[in-house]
Amino acid sequence: MSSEVEKHRRRLDEAKGFGEVYEIVKETVKRSLGKYRAGMMLFLEDLPLQVGAYHSVGTNNIIMNRSLIQIVETATKSRRVINSFIYSILLHEYLHALGYIRESVVRPLVYKISKESFGGDHTTIYMARRGPWSILRGLPVDELEAPKRLIEVVKDFEKTDQRYIV
């Protein structure tokens, strides 16, 4: 296993919060695809449980499903699983924000970047291959009612003031 893969694994395992996971997303995408976008914002909203997140084309916003994240945090106490779930969702939406619109392009890119960054036997690969919801199989997620709360801005999500795609 390369030192770069070990570094990414360690950083993801130790990440505290959305901003630290997002920094790993940006770094792994830049390393894999040579692309980078600054100025993104993250919002947490209670969406239908079948929706992990979305990015509206032409905006700097990623809206992530707060209820789904809370279910994952309740279902597992593993920081690696929780952060891998968040990484997979953010990576997917970040690729949309970079201009990769079609799902048929984004899903293989999520797998490619995850494998290059974390090696073939990491939790992110499992989620990239089977989808992030795979960790919730067997739980009655469809039966849960998501409470409706106000949308929340995640503070300190992005650590830069630049506002462009490189």
Taking the C-alpha atoms of residue 20 and residue 131, their distance in angstroms, rounded to an integer, is 22
CA nearest neighbour of 87 among 50, 51, 116, 123: 123
Question: Going edge to edge, which strands form the sheet with 61-65?
Answer: 53-55, 61-65, 41-45, 152-153
Taking the C-alpha atoms of residue 153 and residue 135, their distance in angstroms, rounded to an integer, is 26
As a whole number of Å, the CA-based R_g of the chain is 15
Q: Is 166 within the bounds of a domain?
A: no
The string of pLDDT tens digits covering residues 94-127 is 999 999 999 999 999 999 999 999 998 999 999 9
Taking the C-alpha atoms of residue 12 and residue 27, their distance in angstroms, rounded to an integer, is 12
Q: Is 158 within the bounds of a domain?
A: no
Q: Is 72 within the bounds of a domain?
A: yes
Q: Is 164 within the bounds of a domain?
A: no
The pLDDT score that the predictor gives to residue 140 is: 56
- Mean pLDDT taken over the chain: 89
Q: Is 57 within the bounds of a domain?
A: yes
Q: Is 163 within the bounds of a domain?
A: no
For the chain, how many structural domains are there in total? 1
Q: Is 106 within the bounds of a domain?
A: yes
What confidence category does residue 74 fall into, taking pLDDT thresholds of 50, 70 and 90?
confident
**Residue 120 belongs to what domain range?**
3-153
Q: Is 40 within the bounds of a domain?
A: yes
State the pTM of this model: 0.89
